[in-house]
Amino acid sequence: MVVSRDGVLRGDADVAAVAALMGEAARASVLVALAGGRALAASTLAAEAGVAPSTLSGHLARLVDGGLVTVEASGRHRYFRLAGPEVAEAVEALARLAPSRPVRSLRQASHAEAVRRARTCYDHLAGRLGVAVLDALVASGTLRAEPDPTGGADPILGAGRARRYLLTDTGRAHLDRLGMSLECAGRRPLTRYCLDWSEQRPHLAGALGAALLDRFVARGWVIRGERRVVRVSEAGRAGLVRDLGVDPAAVA
């Protein structure tokens, strides 16, 4: 309906150009990773796509040039984002007619649910559980959410969202009482956030995030499974709710 030949509506050279831009594995990977409105750094995207940073840099330049993606420089990072909802719609339209739609087996579906529920992200917790833990730490005053000091919008979380999380004195004492203090953070930042892709909200990373996962595992609160999935034990359910104030729904 929209398209037709004869010069009546639109030529087709454009369609081929846009499709060609999407029709390469690394670039498609970028667009898919960016679908949902996330902004991600070039290095992250390169790891996702499984190509060298230099290669992906070229791809990103072409995507930006083609108007599918926008860039925002922030320090020495450059955050890439889909240029608009139309781009996401096009990606989804293509995904809908992807060949060999992998028959989502029951087993795969339940694995997917497990991943969303609780998993590791590098060395810290992620998924609904990871997000709930950060929420609980903020709610209990252990961490204090600090708005962006520069006043600018955070490229990942958007304007008005916390840009860093500070460990309070009472919070440090609290963790000490629980036997969860950190020996030495070394050069690593104590707290960092990491945007959870399945929850679209931040979870706790950094040295504290790693320490917490470490303790949880040591106490048998969470058990590592395969493919980064973790399972919460009965003791973990009780302990997380009692000692950290985690939302019971997140460990159910």
Partner DNA sequence: CGAATGCTTCGGTCTGGACCGAAGAATGCT
Partner DNA sequence: AGCATTCTTCGGTCCAGACCGAAGCATTCG
Give the residues lining the site for DNA (CB under 7 A).
Answer: 20, 24-26, 41-44, 51-62, 71, 73, 75-78, 187
Distance CA 248, CA 132 (A): 9
Q: Which does 145 bind (CB under 5 to 8 A by kind): its own copies, DNA, none?
A: none
Instruction: Report the distance separating Cα 61 and Cα 56, nearest Å.
Output: 8
* CA nearest neighbour of 142 among 124, 169, 176: 169
Separation CA 203–CA 50 (nearest Å) = 24
Exposed, middle or buried, 75 (CB in 10 Å: 0-12/13-18/19+)?
exposed
One-letter identity of residue 185: A
Q: Does 4 bind its own copies (CB under 8 A)?
A: yes
198 binds, among DNA, its own copies, none (CB under 5 to 8 A by kind): its own copies
**Those residues with Cβ within 8 angstroms of residue 205's Cβ, 6 or more apart along the chain or in another chain:** 121, 122, 124, 191, 192, 193, 194
Picked from its own copies, DNA, none, the partner binding residue 54 (CB below 5 to 8 A depending on kind) is DNA
Smallest gap from residue 88 Cβ to its own copies (A): 8
Whichever of 11 and 141 has its CB closer to DNA, that residue is 11
Please identify which residue in 39, 46, 60, 91 interacts with its own copies, judged by CB under 8 A.
Answer: 91
The least CB distance from residue 199 to DNA, in Å, is: 23
What three-state secondary structure class fits 1?
coil
36 in contact with its own copies (CB under 8 A): yes
33 binds, among DNA, its own copies, none (CB under 5 to 8 A by kind): its own copies
- The H-or-E segment that residue 214 falls in is helix 206-218
The tokens of 133 are what?
């833990």
Q: Could you say which of its own copies, DNA, none residue 252 binds, taking C-beta under 5 to 8 angstroms by partner kind? A: none
Residue 214 in the binding site for its own copies (CB under 8 A): no
Give the integer Cα–Cα distance in Å for 6 and 54: 42
Q: Which residues bind its own copies (CB under 8 A)?
A: 1-25, 27-29, 31-33, 35-36, 48, 66-68, 83-84, 86-102, 108, 111-112, 115-116, 197-198, 227
